[in-house]
Amino acid sequence: MTSRQILAAAVLMATVGPAAAQSDVALPYWASINVDEARMRKGPSPDVPVIWEYRRKDLPVKVVARFETWRKIEDPDGTQGWMAARLLSRTRTAIVTGEVRPMREDASVSAAVAYRAEPGVVGRITDCKNGWCLFDVKGRKGWVQTDHIWGD
C-alpha cells in the first residue's frame, strides 16, 4: 500500500468512522419506520416522485438495498421503493396477517390465549424461536406464530 493509499484510507475512516462501517448489516434485513410520516420514492433522491406516504410509525419494512443515505425497502404489501435511512429504525416490529390471531402465554399451540390480535395490528417483537415470536402491542404481550405475522 502506498503512502497515498494509506492517507486516503485514513481520511475515509475519519469521515465514515469505524462504527458506521461496521453498522452495515447483511441484506436483506428487517427495520421499521420510526417517524409518524415517511415518504417512499421511486429512486434514492428527494428529487424523484413519491410512490407512497406512510403515516404509521413502527410499520415493519424489509431493507433490500442501500445507496448512500437511502434504503430500498419493501412494505408488508410487497411494494418496493426508496426511503431516507434516517426515517428507519432497527427496532424489530411485525404486523398481523390474515385473520384474528391468538397471542399465547407461551410459544406453544396448547398454551392459553392471553390476547387476540386483529389483522393489521403492529407490535414489537423481542424474541423469536422455533416458529414463534414474542409480540408486544402497547404492553400486551403474547407469543404469535411467525407464519401469522410479517416482519419476523
**Mean pLDDT computed over 11-39:** 70
In CATH terms, 94-150 corresponds, of 2.60.120.620, 3.40.50.1360, 2.30.30.40, 1.20.120.1630, to 2.30.30.40
Distances (CA, A) of 56 to 33, 38, 44, 50, 146: 7, 8, 21, 16, 21
Each domain of the chain, given as residue ranges in start order, spans 26-91, 94-150
Cβ neighbors of 2 (< 8 A, separation 6 or more) are: none
What's the whole-number average pLDDT of the chain?
88
Q: Phi/psi zone of residue 58: left (φ > 0), alpha (ψ -120 to 50 degrees), beta? A: left
Q: How far apart are CA 92 and CA 67, in angstroms?
A: 22
**Mean pLDDT computed over 138-150:** 98
* Residue whose cell numbers read 416482519: 151
**What percent of the chain shows pLDDT beyond 90?**
83
DSSP-assigned letter for residue 69 = T
Q: How far apart are CA 65 and CA 71, in angstroms?
A: 6
Instruction: Supply the pLDDT for residue 23.
Output: 56
Is the bond into 44 cis (omega within 30 degrees of 0)?
A: no
Q: How far apart are CA 127 and CA 135, in angstroms?
A: 8
Q: Are 26-91 and 94-150 in the same CATH fold?
A: yes
- With beta carbons less than 8 A apart as the criterion, state whether 72 and 66 touch: yes
**How many residues comprise the chain?**
152
20: confidence class by pLDDT, cuts 50, 70, 90: very low
Instruction: Supply the pLDDT for residue 84.
Output: 98
The CATH architecture of the domain made up of 26-91 is Roll (2.30)
Q: Give the chain's end-to-end CA distance (angstroms, integer).
A: 43
- With beta carbons less than 8 A apart as the criterion, state whether 73 and 44 touch: no
* Per-residue pLDDT tens digits for 38-48: 999 999 999 99
* Per-residue pLDDT tens digits for 69-106: 999 999 999 999 999 999 999 999 999 999 999 999 99
22: confidence class by pLDDT, cuts 50, 70, 90: very low
**Mean pLDDT computed over 127-136:** 96
